[in-house]
Amino acid sequence: MKKVALTLLVASVSLMAADGAALYKKCVTCHGPNAEKKALGKSQVIQGWDAATTEAALNEYKAGTRNVYGMGALMKGQVAQYSEADIKAVSAYIAGLK
Ligand code: HEC
């Protein structure tokens, strides 16, 4: 029983990691492979952001209520198709980058 639970846990953790990595692929051009760049010379470097901070920012972009450097509409386009689970997964992935 214990073993089954552990296997399930490991399987779901690795699934999430795979999702986050895949979802982050299209962010790389602007934010860098390790989230180390200022996107288009405008945004903050998001490497080191915890998952909750990134998640909140992405949800605001998706809702169209965030626009820090005049490019909120561009970011809205990036995450418009992302589900709540996608936003969580990509935020968790970014938090693990260094
Ligand atoms: C075409 C370039 C581009 C792509 C692709 C892109 N971003 Fe951005 N991102 C920006 C810009 C520009 C900003 C600043 C927007 C603003 O004015 O608020 C930004 C802001 C952000 C912020 C908030 C940073 C801050 O300084 O407040 C986060 C978090 C973020 N992006 C995550 C992502 C994620 C995750 C993806 C992929 C799903 C992504 N971005 C794709 C250009 C991009």
Give dist(CA 66, CA 72) in Å, integer.
Answer: 6
pLDDT digits (tens, 9 = 90+) for 37-61: 999 999 999 999 999 999 999 999 9
Instruction: Tell me if 73 sits within 8 A of 67, measured CB to CB.
Output: yes
pLDDT of residue 35: 98
Instruction: Tell me if 97 sits within 8 A of 89, measured CB to CB.
Output: no
Q: Is a pLDDT exceeding 90 seen at residue 5?
A: no
Residue nearest atom 21 of ligand 1, based on CA coordinates: 43
Give dist(CA 43, CA 31) in Å, integer.
Answer: 9
CA of 21 to the centre of ligand 1 (A): 16
